[in-house]
Amino acid sequence: MKIERLELTEVPLRLKFPFRTSFGSVQDRRVLILSMYSGGEVGLAECVAGESPGYSYETTDTAWHVISDFIAPAVVGKEFASAEELLHELRYIRGHNIAVAAVEMAFWDLQARSLGVPLYQLLGGSDRPIPVGISLGIQESVEETVALAADSVEQGYGRVKLKIKPGWDYEPVKAVREAFPDISLTVDANSAYTLIQAPHLKRLDEFGLTYIEQPLAHDDILDHATLQAQIDTPICLDESINSPEDARKALTIGAGKVINLKVGRVRGFRASQAIHDIARSFGAPVWCGGMLECGVGRAANLHLSSLPNFTLPGDTSSGSRYWDQDLINEPLEAVDGVQAIPQHGPGIGVSLNRDYVERVASREAVWGAGR
């Protein structure tokens, strides 16, 4: 497939509520949408970089820079037979996985649309209901946290994840566990602790959590292995896994037992498939993480989540949870804790609301020939 044209569009999008984690709070998002054209088809992807370098060093602006100044000039006008070939062209770009992934994901969607098949088929998944969980940000009070967890349980979400940080961990988790003794409950620290706090983290063992997500440093696996040996709660790695090699090494040394797979963080679908397979060979389940995506990214995540080793509910909650006005035309709603894989057409199976996107876009860059 020859990449004839690429469009990168930035769209301001306000979350219904501020989302607070151990690394900061966000409400005003700047979502990047990539459109890739070939042979009359257009592939879509969302670039999941955040607005500030809190979760990853990548931001909306670094992704804009790397895509504009390095990736687009290297791929537009060129022919690629596969995602591997595309990735090979970009192999000299160290890091910046979120930027590279956006282009790789648009290529997969373009391929699937050109073949007239749903993306999950190309990825090796199957048409099955996708169990979904919900990620609850840090709240002002324990009462609010319990109330939000109650809403989530009522809506049928199959897992409730609480964001934690030092000073906001044992109490809210205890309160939610007491209110809901039987739900699958997890916590996500986004790297807010160090090994010195291992005895404190061990206290969470009493709540029978499905896992504790990324308690220690974003670039660590060694201390996670030490911690895992001291606590009963399985560790789920998020920030620490940026490649299939990271996954192999982490699982080899016992740094965790579960992986939160985010396509952007690991450089795209090809790497996601590899990490999925490596985790499976270790008997470690994976689940699909979220980056406060709009419908474009969520649709892609749902297709990926259909691969067989995605055995835990993902952070692919309803689009309406975050957005009054999503950027896609079709709703993406969880019903009784399950999302259907969107198949309103081939590829990721949703369509971009181009009228709206063009009306509110804050900037756009274009490479290659006319549409």
Q: Which of 289, 295, 342, 368 binds ligand OSB (CB under 6 A)?
A: 289
Q: What is the DSSP string of 25-52?
A: EEEEEEEEEEEEEETTEEEEEEE--BSS
235 is a site residue for ligand OSB (CB under 6 A): no
The window from 95-103, 165-173, 266-274, 288-296 that contacts ligand OSB (CB under 6 A) reads 288-296
**8-state DSSP, 251:** H
Q: Which of 55, 207, 310, 367 binds ligand OSB (CB under 6 A)?
A: 55
User: Quick check: 312 and 256 in contact, CB under 8 A?
Assistant: no
Residues 112 to 141 in contact with ligand OSB, rule: CB under 6 A: 135
Letter for the amino acid at 66? V
Nearest residue to ligand OSB by CB is: 290
* Tokens of residue 266, six digits: 């690991």
Tell me which of 161, 165, 257, 262 is the catalytic residue. 262
Task: Write the CB contacts of 330 (distance below 8 Å, at least 6 apart in sequence).
Answer: 295, 342, 344, 350, 351
The strand order across the sheet containing 24-38 reads 41-47, 24-38, 5-21, 363-368
Tell me which of 16, 78, 163, 202 is the catalytic residue. 163
- Out of ligand OSB, Mg ion, none, what residue 135 binds, judged by CB under 5 to 8 A for its kind, is ligand OSB
238 is a site residue for Mg ion (CB under 5 A): yes
Q: How many residues bind ligand OSB (CB under 6 A)?
A: 11
Q: How far is 288 from 41, CA to CA, in rounded Å?
A: 27
H/E stretch holding 261: strand 258-261
Active site residue 161: no
Q: Strand, coil or helix: what is 24?
A: strand
Residues 59 to 118 in contact with ligand OSB, rule: CB under 6 A: none
Binding mask 183-202 for ligand OSB (x = CB under 6 A): -----x-x------------
- Out of ligand OSB, Mg ion, none, what residue 125 binds, judged by CB under 5 to 8 A for its kind, is none
Helix (H), strand (E) counts: the chain: 14, 13
315 is a site residue for Mg ion (CB under 5 A): no
Q: How far is the CB of 279 from Mg ion (least distance, A)?
A: 16
Which residues does the annotation mark as catalytic? 163, 262
Residues at the interface with ligand OSB (CB under 6 A): 55, 135, 188, 190, 238, 289-292, 315, 317
